[in-house]
Structure 1
Amino acid sequence: MGKTVEYRRFGGSGPAPRQEERALLSVGFILTNNFTLTALAPFIDALRLAADEGDRSRQIRCRWTIMGSRAEPVMSSCGIGVARWEPLTDPRRFDYVVVVGGLLHGGPQLDDESLAYLRAAASYGVTLIGVCTGSFVLSRIGLMKNRRCCVSWYHHRDFIEEFPDLVPVADQLYVVDRDRITCSGGAGVADLAAFLIERHLGRATAQKTMHILLIDKARPASQSQPQPPTVVEITNDRVRRALLLMEQHISDPLSVEEIVHRLNVSTRQFERLFRLAVGTSPATYYRSLRLRYGHWLLRNTKRSVTAIANEAGFADCAHFSRQFRELFGVSPSEVRRTAGPDAEADPHFSPLDAFRRTNGDSLLPDRRLFEDPEPRAQDAAQVD
């Protein structure tokens, strides 16, 4: 079926709906198979609260709908099904069409009819939004060419492997690039919704919406994601899996024995592979990863040093402070003092700034951060 036929199925050659027939903000949602509820619910709830006075939920200033090519409910990643409200309809009704993504490896995310609809919407100039792994859907059908694309740090590696010609942004909550908006997902969806509400209905409405959701204020697009991806390029599959395990267990560090068990490899072989790939022992790298995360928290949040030590996986503040000073040459309290009130307010600060201030402009960590000239017996046995 040619593109012309595909496009005419969704809107035809007639005029777009009249503006007076539309709300100030109109959004159509398309759910992928195994979509995540957190990528949908905050978005719709923010629209609901902005659309009407109080909590009455009438679609007055905002309108939204859930569309689908099939009448059967779409199953979310947690097993809750959501049925469409209406079939795929003229995309020109909407200011935005949102693709709500979820699990990457649970089979096809959308069928051909839904993909054709997205192409049609793009041809009409409708702004497309990909939340969570919705960015993968838009990229797979060529709708993210020459545009910046925001992905979660968790899927950063997946994106690079599937789209080597695209550059993912994994250190922001969401990215607005002309008629494409992509969001890393999770709680960042509420921030994106607030941005759109403010754009169309004003700041007061956006603030009211966030306050009802018990959110102090919406974070800007450039606010960094709470955990950066590993920035060392690794080709060995087992080492990459080990790094992913480390990233996923910052607050509750795994021992080297636990990592080795999950990888089904001997401790000696794992130590050798890791040193060849990274240049240091797993324990030293893991400790440095957690300390760099603590550094980021010190500069970007107002949490106490004790709370940050726990968040970075250290049993007590004294241990965290001692290791922190050894790595960075300053104490956590000194970093907190130099950050001051502007660090959290600076919308352009990202977690990679913490690396750049130590490593210069390179995204690769300075090997001095991981210097471990003499292998230590305890590194092979435990991780702090």
Structure 2
Amino acid sequence: MSVGSVALVVPEEIGLLSWDLYEVSIAATVFGMPQPDLADPWYDLRLCGVGAAPPSASGLALRTPYGLDGLAGAGTVIVPSVPDACVEEGAPVSPELVTALRQAYDDGARMVSLCTGAFALAAAGILDGRRATAHWMHTGQLAERHPEVLVDDSVLYVDDGDVLTSAGMTAGLDLCLHLVRRDLGAHVANQLARRMVVPAHRPGGQAQFVDLSVPATDDQGLAPVLDWARAHLDRPLTIEDLARRAAVSPRTFYRQLHRATGTTPLRWLLNQRLARAQTLLESTGFSVEKIAELSGLGTANNLRHHFVKQIGVSPSDYRRAFPRTAAASGPVR
């Protein structure tokens, strides 16, 4: 299955220790490293530069084989950041970049920003009237300079169909994996996340947390319990069940899970059940009723309700979008 070309816009200047490099590398890793056993062909990544930039005093400059003309014909355009001056000092985004982004959008490309890349999409008028996000440190500036944008600083990423924006740092990885999930299905996205040793799916509506990457509790202590829960999603699990398995009180378990994952036990369970339902829809011919049972959502109506609310389509429409393949097939316990 071909998923088309991805144009990744490299900032004008990029520092060795900057966030820019981190977010560029996220997109380059997800879309630029072929995974022929998961999907062949994989994405066709183009690195597109905004003019020539000398090495910065504290970092480096990246050579790109394409200029902004590389955006032409791309199915997806990703802007991982803009120069710090555009954020901190209110300097204008490169007019050449603004023009190229607007043209790509008008030509039908899917537009994606990571972190401060939202400033570039906003400057091109692409976010007008849309809900969007960026790193919580910069959402105030984004809202002030672009009042026509509906800035939401409380989420990891926003999927508005043909325009997607994410918060900074690891939230950019969440959005990139979400794009793979949209394009190639839950099985491929889950396997890719496993190879990258990251959580397979964090919903975009999850809150941004300043120190989420350094939980106050030992996350490894919860791992056996969460693994057990994933293996028994067909059961009517409760917080009390999980707390008993962890040998702690329900209140302590709630606090530990929230600190480690940023979500509540009930929300975590629902997300896991929906992820299981996605995998079963892709990899089996089971009825919706059977999948609702195996994923622990009870009835077909309950599955449809949560599926439409969280994923945006019905289970049947999702199955048609991601027909069963040999790679996704396999025994289901």
CA contact (8 A) 1:50 1:205 kept: no
Moved over 6 A (4+): 337-340
Deviation for aligned residue 1:218: 2.6
Q: Which residue pairs with 1:64 in the alignment?
A: 45
Partner secondary structure for residue 204 of structure 1? helix
Given the superposition, is the C-alpha separation of residues 59 and 106 from structure 1 closer, same or farther in structure 2, using an over 3 Å criterion?
A: farther
Distance 1:131 1:87 in 2: 20
Q: Which residue pairs with 1:189 in the alignment?
A: 172
Give a deviation string over 1:100-129, Cα, whole Å, max 9, x none.
215223785743222111111111121111
Aligned with 2:268 (options 336, 344, 363): 344
Q: Which residue pairs with 1:46 in the alignment?
A: 30
Deviation for aligned residue 1:131: 1.0
Q: Which residue pairs with 2:124 in the alignment?
A: 141
Alignment map for 1:14-33 (pairs within 5 Å): 23-33=2-12
Q: Which residue pairs with 1:95 in the alignment?
A: 75
Distance 2:24 2:190 in 1: 20
Give a deviation string over 1:348-379, Cα, whole Å, max 9, x none.
xxxxxxxxxxxxxxxxxxxxxxxxxxxxxxxx
Give a deviation string over 1:125-165, Cα, whole Å, max 9, x none.
21111111010111123211110011211112222322233
Equivalent residue letter for 1:66: L
Given the superposition, is the C-alpha separation of residues 105 and 59 from structure 1 closer, same or farther in structure 2, using an over 3 Å criterion?
A: farther
Distance 1:59 1:30 in 2: 24
Given the superposition, is the C-alpha separation of residues 88 and 302 from structure 1 closer, same or farther in structure 2, using an over 3 Å criterion?
A: same
RMSD: 3.7
CA contact (8 A) 1:37 1:76 kept: no
Distance 1:29 1:68 in 2: 8
Equivalent residue letter for 2:30: A
Distance 2:71 2:32 in 1: 20
Q: Which residue pairs with 1:333 in the alignment?
A: 252
With normalisation by structure 1, the TM-score equals: 0.52
Partner secondary structure for residue 64 of structure 1? strand
Partner secondary structure for residue 138 of structure 2? helix
Percent identity, aligned pairs only?
A: 21
Alignment map for 1:30-179 (pairs within 5 Å): 30-34=9-13, 36-49=20-33, 51-53=35-37, 60-70=41-51, 72-73=52-53, 79-89=59-69, 91=71, 93-102=73-82, 103=84, 104-105=87-88, 108=91, 110-179=93-162
With normalisation by structure 2, the TM-score equals: 0.59
Partner secondary structure for residue 40 of structure 1? helix
Given the superposition, is the C-alpha separation of residues 61 and 84 from structure 1 closer, same or farther in structure 2, using an over 3 Å criterion?
A: same
Given the superposition, is the C-alpha separation of residues 192 and 76 from structure 1 closer, same or farther in structure 2, using an over 3 Å criterion?
A: farther
Give a deviation string over 1:161-197, Cα, whole Å, max 9, x none.
2223332111111101122111112011111111111
Any unmatched runs of 5+ in structure 1? 1-21, 228-247, 252-293, 306-330, 348-384
Q: Which has the larger radius of gyration?
A: 1
Distance 2:61 2:92 in 1: 15
Equivalent residue letter for 1:165: E
- Structure with the greater relative contact order (CA < 8 A, sep ≥ 6): 1 or 2? 1
CA contact (8 A) 1:73 1:84 kept: no
Aligned pairs, how many? Answer: 231
Given the superposition, is the C-alpha separation of residues 68 and 302 from structure 1 closer, same or farther in structure 2, using an over 3 Å criterion?
A: closer
Equivalent residue letter for 2:146: F
Distance 1:205 1:97 in 2: 21
Partner secondary structure for residue 196 of structure 1? helix
Given the superposition, is the C-alpha separation of residues 335 and 218 from structure 1 closer, same or farther in structure 2, using an over 3 Å criterion?
A: closer
CA contact (8 A) 1:50 1:61 kept: yes
Partner secondary structure for residue 66 of structure 1? strand
Alignment map for 1:243-282 (pairs within 5 Å): none
